[in-house]
């Protein structure tokens, strides 16, 4: 497994470059599409809060910055979640005809997700400057939380990837799942402290990773260290287990697809 992972680096790089270029090819706005969803979502909820259509609790940084930061993190998680399924579906024909390390597909998508996040970081930096939000010294550890967030999405995506080749229902269900999952994640609101809904939010594995990434950047005070450590351990173990399942399942899936 590790030998195949190392052997897949060059192919993964070439696939990542191809996919990144394809994202913005024949697009008038080009790379601006990396920013527009976060900007419009932040604008809509900020206007709704100002008009008192919705009531958002107190946030530790200005709400537009809070919302854009969380939205970028959430979009990064969703990209990592969908990436393995999209990768194997797009490479279905190549998988049936060419023998190559399958890990290259996953590595390429992880690299693409990191590239997209790096582009979106420019928007976050701009908002920090506009709203004069200071950085905590713990910002140097923020990449650890973000990588954990990407790994969490990746391990779930790898688990579903073999089924995604066989059944289109998986891709369609992911749209419904992530839409509902967003409501249970403190992206547009602070973490609730009371009520049944707060339990769903706190048991959401994305919550400690997203909250910790934001707190490492802004306040430097980690509110959920135990949950963050637990989800990190769960993610690393789950990533290895689903990697094994992926390698065992793919030969049978490819045989069925190509028959």
Which has the closest alpha carbon to 56: 48, 166, 116? 48
Higher local confidence (pLDDT), 258 or 256: 256
Mean pLDDT of the chain: 87
119 C-beta neighbours (distance < 10 Å), count: 15
If one counts every other C-beta atom within 10 angstroms of the C-beta of residue 97, the result is 8
Please give the pLDDT value at position 189: 87
The answer, yes or no, to whether residue 72 has pLDDT greater than 70, is yes
Whether pLDDT at 28 is above 60: no
pLDDT at residue 50 tops 80: no
- Within a 10 A sphere around the Cβ of 82, how many other Cβ atoms? 21
Task: Report residue 64's pLDDT band, with 50, 70 and 90 as the boundaries.
Answer: confident
Above 60 in pLDDT, residue 242? yes
Mind listing the pLDDT tens digit for each residue in 101-148? 888 999 999 999 998 898 888 888 988 999 898 888 999 999 999 999
Contact 210, 73 (CB under 8 A): yes
Any idea where the domains of the chain sit in the sequence? 2-258
Q: What is the reported pTM?
A: 0.90
**pLDDT for position 217:** 93
At 37 the pLDDT is 74
Residues of the chain above pLDDT 90, percent: 38
In this prediction, residue 173 carries a pLDDT of 87
Cβ atoms of residues 82 and 176 within 8 Å: no
pLDDT digits (tens, 9 = 90+) for 145-166: 999 999 999 999 999 998 888 8
Size of the chain, expressed as the number of residues it contains: 259
State residue 225's pLDDT score: 92
Give pLDDT, residue 29: 60
Judged against a pLDDT cut of 90, whether residue 19 lies above it is answered with no
């Amino acid at each position: 497994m590790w030998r195949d992972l190392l052997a897949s680096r060059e192919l993964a790089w070439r696939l990542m470059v191809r996919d990144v270029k394809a994202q913005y090819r024949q697009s008038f706005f080009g790379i601006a599409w990396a920013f527009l969803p976060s900007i419009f979502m932040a604008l809509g909820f900020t206007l709704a809060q100002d008009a008192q259509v919705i009531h958002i609790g107190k946030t530790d940084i200005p709400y537009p910055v809070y919302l854009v930061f969380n939205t970028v993190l959430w979009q990064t998680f969703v990209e990592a979640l969908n990436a393995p399924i999209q990768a194997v579906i797009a490479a279905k024909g190549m998988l049936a005809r060419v023998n190559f390390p399958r890990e290259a597909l996953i590595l390429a998508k992880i690299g693409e997700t990191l590239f997209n996040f790096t582009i979106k970081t420019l928007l976050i930096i701009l908002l920090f400057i506009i709203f004069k939000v200071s950085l905590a010294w713990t910002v140097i550890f923020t990449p650890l939380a973000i990588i954990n967030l990407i790994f969490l999405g990746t391990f779930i995506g790898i688990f579903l990837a073999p089924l995604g080749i066989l059944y289109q229902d998986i891709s369609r269900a992911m749209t419904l799942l992530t839409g509902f999952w967003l409501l249970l994640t403190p992206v547009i609101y602070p973490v609730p402290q009371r009520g049944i809904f707060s339990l769903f939010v706190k048991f959401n594995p994305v919550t400690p990773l997203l909250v910790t990434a934001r707190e490492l950047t802004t306040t430097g005070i980690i509110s959920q260290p135990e949950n963050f450590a637990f989800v990190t351990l769960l993610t690393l173990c789950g990533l290895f287990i689903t990697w094994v399942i992926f390698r065992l399942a793919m030969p049978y899936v490819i045989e069925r697809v190509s028959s």
